[in-house]
Amino acid sequence: MRKNVFPFALLLLSCTVFAQDDIKRTPWGAMIKKTALFVVRPWILLASLIVFCNAASAQDDIKRTPWGKPDLNGYWDYHHLTPLQRPAQFEGSTVMTEDQAKDWEDNAYNREADRRGRGNPNVNYVGVDLWHEEAFAEWETDDHRTSLITDPPDGRIPAMLESRREERRNQPRYRGYPRGPEDRTMMERCIWAPQSVPPIQTLIENAMLQLVLTEDFAVITAERMHDSRIIPLDNRAPLPTNIKQYYGSGTGYWDGDTLVIETTGIHPSYSYQGSSPDMKVIERLTLKPDNRLYYEYTIDDPRSFERPWTAGFHWKNHAGPTFEYACHEFNYGMTGILSGARAEEFRELTGTEYDRPTVEAEYR
């Protein structure tokens, strides 16, 4: 603000000088007037130029690349405690009060522990609890917002179409003991993680990514599963709809200072909040003057939802680095899961315990 005071003062002085130009003057008064104009006129031009440049560069409080686009390069941390959908206790409110935000943040660990306990009360989460408690203590809500969803205004996912519900009910599911890795989730098989597939969503751990931006491409590398999405920035046509990829077919372009990425053709093995393989994800990345990046996405899936819906949250710049998520290396969890399934089957068939000696090579 202060840097604009001097040029505005000059403009005010010049206006004062010119405003007096319509009065009768003595010869020496006219000479003084002429001298004043001679001295002030260059400063008028300078002041006008400064004011114009300040106005034109008001939006340039952000860091830019050598080719003039917002510099999105770097490591980004997107941990936060804001729920995707607005809880009933915040109905009608878009922002929490300070007391509500503190209570929500202070009880994050307890909410997660209760959720896990309801999901499977027979599982011991002691090891997970130790670091979850420490991690949750460091996180905050995203500007005290009550939901990530901004549209619809009620902060809730639009209703799912009954036709899509029926479609999901009829999908084949194997509910017995896993016969092989194919009966387990993609995450357990180390194929993809939710952070890798658009839209980017925050989970409890590994909510970190690296973004590399060139004039022609944007590369988003998620820490979890260390997968990279390579997005061309020429707004090219997506791949044919019959070609499905785990991370979809993404194409990007600039809308002013906002990077827009449109993705279709995501593999049917992935569903976001019940979405169908027809889902289109539109992501918008906007760098803010406080050096945060606002990430917004719209889910457009008329096969699943009554209407498109939009959510968004801030990423914080981080010094980095991210670390390799070596999931396949030492993925002894899969070995244990399948071995446990075979042991359960043996017990049911024979009535005796399965006591096969551990083969250390299987866990290397």
pTM of the full predicted structure? 0.78
Cα–Cα distance measured from residue 249 to residue 280, given in angstroms and rounded to the nearest whole number:
10
Average of per-residue pLDDT across 241-248: 91
pLDDT of residue 125: 67
Q: What is the structure's pLDDT at 9?
A: 46
Same domain, 244 and 358: no
Same domain, 208 and 194: yes
Q: Which own/partner pairs from 332-337 qualify as long-range (CB within 8 Å, at least 24 positions apart)? A: 332/362, 332/363, 333/188, 334/181, 334/184, 334/188, 334/189, 335/362, 335/363, 337/178, 337/184, 337/188
Count up the domains in the chain and report the number: 4
Please report where in the chains the tokens 């593999």 appear, as a residue: 267
Range with the poorest average pLDDT among 45-49, 75-79, 172-176, 285-289: 45-49
Phi, psi of 222 (to 5 degrees): -85, 145
State yes or no: pLDDT of 213 exceeds 70.
yes
Residues 129 and 162 in one domain: no
CB of 277 within 8 A of CB of 262? no
Q: Is residue 329 a part of any domain in this protein?
A: no
Residue 171's closest CA among 241, 245, 248, 268? 268
Q: Answer whether residue 28 shows pLDDT above 60.
A: no
- Does 198 lie in the same domain as 50? no
Between these two residues, 47 and 296, which has the higher pLDDT value? 296
Whether 168 and 313 share a structural domain = yes
Boundaries of domain holding 50: 2-56
CA 294 – CA 316 distance, rounded (Å): 9
Q: Which two tokens stand for residue 55?
A: 């106005």
22, 46: one domain: yes
pLDDT of residue 306: 98
Higher pLDDT: 13 or 61? It is 61
Same domain, yes or no: 212 and 234? yes
Quote the pLDDT of residue 362. Answer: 64
Asked if residue 326 is part of any domain, the answer here is no
Asked if the structure places residue 150 within a domain, the reply is yes
**Are 256 and 343 within one domain?**
no
Higher-confidence position of 2 and 135: 135
- Shared domain for 222 and 277, answered yes or no, is yes
Question: With bands split at pLDDT 50, 70 and 90, how would you rate the model's confidence at 339?
Answer: confident
**Distance separating alpha carbons of residues 272 and 198, to the nearest angstrom:** 9
Looking at the fold, whether 37 and 182 belong to one and the same domain comes out as no
Same domain, 242 and 183: yes
Query: Are 287 and 166 in a shared domain?
Result: yes
> For residue 19, what pLDDT is reported?
45
Q: Between 98-106 and 108-119, two packed helices, what is the crossing angle to 10 degrees?
A: 50
